[in-house]
Structure formats: C-alpha cells, structure tokens
Amino acid sequence: MRRFTVYDTLSRETRLFVPLVPPKVGLFVCGLTPYDDAHIGHGRIGVVFDSVARALTRWGYRPFYVQNVTNIDDRLIARGAESGTNPLVLADRHFLAWTLAMRELGVTSVNYYPHATDFIPEIVHQIQSLVERGFAYPASGSVYYEVAKFDRYGRLSGQKVEELRPGSRADVEPGKRAPEDFVLWKAARPGEPSWDSPWGPGRPGWHIEDTAITVRLFGPRYDIHGGGLDLKFPHHEAEIAQAEAATGEAPLVNFWMHAGLVSIAGEKMSKSLGNSVLLQDGIGTFGPMAVRFYYLNAHYRSPLDFVGGKSLEEAKVAYERLAGPFDRISEILARDGLERSGRDLPPDAARAASSCVEKLDEAMATDFNTREAIALLFGWSKAMADWIPHVESLSGSALAALGAPYRWGHEVLGLFRTDDSLPGGELLGRVVAVALEARARARARGDFAEADRIRDALGLAGLAIEDEGDRSRWHARAGNPE
C-alpha cells in the first residue's frame, strides 16, 4: 500500500494517513438534501471524493465509501407543501436524478447511499444514549443537545460557544436551555411525516442522522469524513459532539477533509440565493468530461469561481486538447489490438512514460493534488506531440506504453472515459437499482400510487418489474435491449 498524506481540518496539519484497520478505509461524505435539482456546486463533492476513493483503490486500500441522503428536513417539507408532493416522494425523485448525473460524470465508487429515514431506530437509540449520559434533554416533545456539556465543541471550526449567544435570553426559543443547543428530535407538526419515539411522534434533526448512520456502519471511529467547507460549522461540529458523547470514544474521525465551495462572483452558489446553475444543464451543454475536468483542475481545498458558461467552455477546450493524443492511441488499439506489429519504443521513451505514472501517483499522494496531476498529464501530452505523427508505425505494446499515463488518468481521475467504460447492462442495472429502492420505500410507507408511478415509468422504458414479497426483480421486455 502506498503511503500518502492528507490535510486534516481538525488538527490543521498535513499528516501521514494510517487507517484504523488496514487495508480497510472507512470513508463517509455528507451527501445531498434532494429537495430540488442539483447545481454545479453539488457536483464537485461527488467528483472530488470519487477521485479520492479511486486513488485509495489503486494504492491497495479497500475503501468502504458511504454518502448519506438527507431525505427528510425542513426544506423538503416546505418544498413538498408548495408543490403538493409528499416530501419523501420528492426526495426520491431528485435523488434518482442525482444518481443519473453522477453516472454521467463517472462517479462509480460510492458503495452505499443510506437514507436518513431508513435509520430511524438507530437515530432514536443514539438520542436515548445522549439523554441517558446527560448530554441531551427533552422539551415539549423535542430533544436538544446541551452544547455546554461537551467541552471540545468548537475545536473543528474555531467557533467559541460564547460567541454564539445573543445578548438576551428572550432570543432563545421555548424549550431550549441555551441558544447554542441544537435539536436532535423535532416534535411532529400537523401534516408532516413523523415517526414514533419515546418523546412522542417527530422526526430527526439534521445532524443526528449522520452520526447514527456512521456508528451503525463503521462503529464509533472511522478514517475519513468529507464534505463541503460550508458544513464545517455547525454540522460537522455537531457530529463530533454527538458521536463522541454517545459512544465515549474519540476521535470520531481521524481525518476531516473539506472541499472548497463553488462560487459566482465570490458568493457561494446556492439555490436560496438564486445564483445556481443546474448540474444537468452543464453536463448536457458541455459534456460530462468537461464538467469533471473543471472540478479536478483545481486542488480540492481551493475555492472555484464559476463564470457561467465560460468556465465550462474553457474546461471543454482544455480537456479535448489533453485527451486528443489518447483518443488517437485508443482508436488504433481498438482497431488492431495489443498484438499489432510495428516499431517498439526507444528505452528512454518507455522509461519516461513509466516515470510520468510514478509522478502522477506522487501528486495524488500529496493531499490528493488533482491539479498537479492534470498539469503532469498536459506535460506528457506535450511530450507525445513528437510521436503522434508516427503512431500508425508503432507496435501495440509501444502504444500501450505511451498511453500508460492516460490510463492512470482514467483509473484515478475518471477522465478519458467513453460511454462504454462500463458495460451497458451494468450501467442500466445501477440506475434501475436506485429506482427500485425508491419504489420499495414508497411501498413500505403505504404510498402505492408513487410505487405504481415508478413501476409504470420503468415499463415505458421497456423494463418489466416482478414483485416477490418485499423484493422486486426486473428484466427487459422482449424486443427491448438491456
């Protein structure tokens, strides 16, 4: 396994990575709250941590990559009320669109997308532990975390608790002991989805779902937690307080990785600010590889300033220039195979290709520096310029050697991908699995109209669904290719 370093937001140091249980690596990334279509800013997180998981796999680690889905929260409830749609149905629809966009962008490394509402028992259990240990208190059917009881609160973000307190106790909402206390369980309001609990019907707060999921899947400690820089406070700060208080073990995470935000004119891209550009629009107009290249041609911790279509147009031109030589090599190898006869490479050229691959690994092994890796690939592309006019005369093994740095770029950065990088059946299977998962949740909550809608939509796409108890199977109807 290759040794590498990662910048840890908590310690504010770049440290040598050592997994808790090598070669396994527990990787958790805060995912989507699917109350609307994803924008360009959301896509960066998906691509960045996909490249992290790809690098770990290349280096001999075994990442278990989990990205949660917050499928119940205030925004989903509000948007559902506006549109007259069950918020759980709304979440499933937008999450399906997200998985389709991720597939197009080549994000293939996520092992599991746990939905918050599938972990209600674990959430309730963790809240009970916090109440029993004296870190949380019930109030009018809700439960709050008492921040003053956790003396390490604020270490991740640098926030001081006293700075979070307004000048008057009148500003504290009823039931809370202090303004900095945050909700773990929200008492149900009329018309909202709710679940039973020891404190009455309600739903989980935003922060508690993540730690309930990670403790269930990874145990009390794991290796890497990723997310956007905007989540450092209060979300990730709350996660540390919850999990470490509930389990008594610390640290919750060995390495905190925070990706820089995508902004427009220096302002964070956000649906609420009305300055967002839809991810699917960017993919559809400029192509998925241009979008993926745009994200990776910057260090993951650096901010990205999005200048409308200009940013993606420039990324598309640069990517096509970078990919040109590899496209030519791939075309010849696809036609003739590795066994084709021809001239072999001079020893110095073969060594240069091998050296470039090693330098690429070194760049990624230094806090996942994708920008440096792409610069190295551009350097190799320039060196290839002298060979391109002569590629038809080269042997298959010579072409493979010249293409080795590009194959690294495909394996680790997910670039240089064609539509058949995965077999069509495998791609289709991944998408259908997400749709069937959404249908299963609809059936479980008794929403048979939504379950039928998903079944009928799949039927229009040429797929037949067969239910067997609480499980479903699918197959392509006669005359419809898989």
Which CATH topology does 5-259 take? Rossmann fold (3.40.50)
Residue 34, amino acid: P
| Helix ranges restricted to H, 248-307 | 279-286, 288-296
Domain ranges of the chain: 5-259, 309-413, 424-476
User: Quick one: pLDDT at residue 167?
Assistant: 45
CA distance 36 to 482: 30
CA distance 442 to 2: 44
Coil, helix or strand for 355? Answer: helix
Distance of CA 32 to the CA centre of its chain: 8
Burial 233-272 (b: 16+ CB within 10 A, else e): ebbbbbbbbbbbbbbeeebbbbbbbbbbbbbbeeebbbbe
Q: Provide the sign of the torsion angle of the four alpha carbons 358, 359, 364, 367, taken in this order.
A: positive
Integer angstrom CA distances of residue 75 from 36, 58, 80, 82, 123: 9, 39, 8, 11, 20
pTM metric for this prediction? 0.87
User: Quick one: pLDDT at residue 428?
Assistant: 60
For tokens 């680690």, the residue is 61
Torsion of CA 112, 114, 119, 120, to 10 degrees: 180
| Helix ranges restricted to H, 219-307 | 237-247, 279-286, 288-296
CA distance 382 to 175: 65
Contact indicator for 412, 55 with CB cutoff of 8 Å = yes
User: Quick one: pLDDT at residue 480?
Assistant: 43
Report pLDDT digits (tens) over 69-119. 999 999 999 999 999 999 999 999 999 999 999 999 999 999 999 999 999
Contact indicator for 312, 44 with CB cutoff of 8 Å = no
In 30-75, at which residue ranges do the beta strands (DSSP E only) sit?
Answer: 62-67
Q: Provide the sign of the torsion angle of the four alpha carbons 249, 27, 203, 231, taken in this order.
A: positive
Burial 192-227 (b: 16+ CB within 10 A, else e): bbbbebebeebbbbbbbbbbbbbbebbebbbbbbbb
User: Quick one: pLDDT at residue 354?
Assistant: 95
Helix axis angle for 206-218 and 120-132, nearest 10°, is 100
CA distance 166 to 174: 15
CA distance 323 to 378: 9
For tokens 């220096």, the residue is 266
| Best CATH choice for the domain 309-413 from the list 1.20.950, 1.10.730, 1.20.272, 1.20.120 | 1.20.120
What the block records as the tokens of 106 is: 């080549």
| pLDDT, mean of each 10-residue run, the chain (482 residues) | 97 98 98 94 97 98 98 95 94 94 95 96 98 97 97 93 57 82 96 96 97 98 97 97 98 98 81 77 95 98 92 96 91 89 91 96 98 97 87 93 95 76 50 77 79 78 73 60 38
What the block records as the tokens of 58 is: 């290349």
Provide the β-strand partners of residue 14: 7
CA atoms within 13 A on the CB side of 138: 15
User: Quick one: pLDDT at residue 172?
Assistant: 61
DSSP per-residue codes, 379-419: HHHHHHTTTGGGGGGB-HHHHHHHTHHHHHIIIII--S--T
